[in-house]
Amino acid sequence: MYQGPPLQQGQPCDPGESRTLRFLANTHVIPVPGSRLPWNSYIGVEGASHNNLKAIDVKFPLQVFTAVTGVSGSGKSSLVRDILYCALGREYNQGRMPAPGKFRRLTGDLHRIGGVELVDQNPIGKSSRSNPVTYIKAYDDIRKLFSEQPYARMNGYGHSHFSFNIEGGRCPECQGEGVVKVEMQFMADVILTCESCRGKRFLPDILEVRYKDRNIYDILEMTVREAIDFFSSHDEPTARRIAERLMPLDQVGLSYIKLGQSSSSLSGGESQRVKLAYFLSRENSMTNRLFIFDEPTTGLHVYDIEKLLKSFSALISKGHTVLVVEHNMDLVKCADWVIDLGPGAGDEGGSCCYCGTPEGLAQRSDLATGLALRSKIPVQQ
């Protein structure tokens, strides 16, 4: 019988919910950077006239952090997602891309980057078996580590026995999900803990394989922080490597999520940061990319915004470019460059009202973003 809420549906503990943290978050102020990164190279979009855009020419600087701002409906998504992202995706042959919105041509230093990445808030995987640890590719080493343990060797359990995707070690009843979905006529599906494995996702004999007294289910139930502490406290190179691979999840402020947490239980903002963590983990093996983030601060408290900013710096220091569509002035004030669209929405928008540093934009009391930025950046009279 079903005895309680399904194991995989637990909401992550949100550190922002602690009263003390909430108080600190309300009083904590992200400092305005002392200087802005200069830029020389850029990618230009000329003649952008998709939707409400007024045939504008815009230069997107490379290897710095740029924020695209403007009121809702001013044309930000039309310019950044519909034109820039799709046009660059086609330019660099990145698989199936929708046709870009109407524009004349791309210009500038296209040879300076090798591709474009949209880091959005969509779920990290289509299957509910996908989870943070598989997404950032740390699970391969965890499987390797477990297959090297004495009990696994004795019984011939290899990597695949610890896989969610292949038959062999996973629970055949729930296919390694730990839960089963019961379809109800005329009602929403009901998710129940798998009776066969009691939510533990693997066959009993696979769960007998232990590394330092923990089985594979125990590992998947660890938070990112617990797992980093656990794996970094042991000497095996594989364990150390696992801890290193998990670090980016901590860097982007996701230390509280569980390694094996189903992708469907992650919020949009959390999914976005798992994707960012993935790119941070492989930054050394990548050509320079232009990363586009759509409203990345949604649902973040001030400490996590600071972590996000550090992640942006980490990407830029490796030669990547960060382009953010954002309303949050705590993030905008930290950008190296701001492109403000407007001045209004719909027919009243679609023009490029300002390009420059946040300091310069804060001087512009004729622009909504300029006024909003004044509360964050001291304006010289």
Query: Which positions lie near Zn ion, rule CB under 5 A?
Result: 171, 173-174, 194, 196-197
The distance of closest approach from Cβ of residue 179 to Zn ion in the complex, given in angstroms and rounded to an integer, is 8
Note whether 212 and 193 are within 8 A (CB).
no
Q: Smaller CB distance to Zn ion: residue 206 or 290?
A: 206
The distance of closest approach from Cβ of residue 199 to Zn ion in the complex, given in angstroms and rounded to an integer, is 7
Q: Smaller CB distance to Zn ion: residue 178 or 343?
A: 178
Pick from 126, 209, 132, 223: which is nearest to 168 by CA?
209
The distance of closest approach from Cβ of residue 180 to Zn ion in the complex, given in angstroms and rounded to an integer, is 7
Note whether 103 and 243 are within 8 A (CB).
no
Q: Smaller CB distance to Zn ion: residue 107 or 165?
A: 165
Return the DSSP state at 214: B
The distance of closest approach from Cβ of residue 269 to Zn ion in the complex, given in angstroms and rounded to an integer, is 30
Q: Smaller CB distance to Zn ion: residue 7 or 377?
A: 7
The distance of closest approach from Cβ of residue 181 to Zn ion in the complex, given in angstroms and rounded to an integer, is 12
Give me the helices (H) in 75-130, please. Answer: 76-77, 86-91
- How many other β-carbons are positioned within 10 Å of the β-carbon of residue 56? 18
Q: For tokens 């943290």, what's the residue?
A: 21
The distance of closest approach from Cβ of residue 155 to Zn ion in the complex, given in angstroms and rounded to an integer, is 20
Q: Which residues, in sequence order, are CB contacts of 370 under 8 Å at separation 6+?
A: 340, 354, 361, 362, 363, 364
**346 vs 368: CA distance, rounded Å:** 15
Q: Smaller CB distance to Zn ion: residue 17 or 167?
A: 167
Q: Which residues, in sequence order, are CB contacts of 153 under 8 Å at separation 6+?
A: 147
The distance of closest approach from Cβ of residue 192 to Zn ion in the complex, given in angstroms and rounded to an integer, is 10
**Where are the strands (E) in 56-168, listed by range?**
56-61, 65-69, 105-108, 115-119
Q: Smaller CB distance to Zn ion: residue 192 or 286?
A: 192
Sign, Cα dihedral of 340, 346, 347, 348: negative
Q: For tokens 């364990």, what's the residue?
A: 239
> What is the rounded (10 degree) CA torsion for 255, 218, 139, 151?
150
The distance of closest approach from Cβ of residue 196 to Zn ion in the complex, given in angstroms and rounded to an integer, is 4
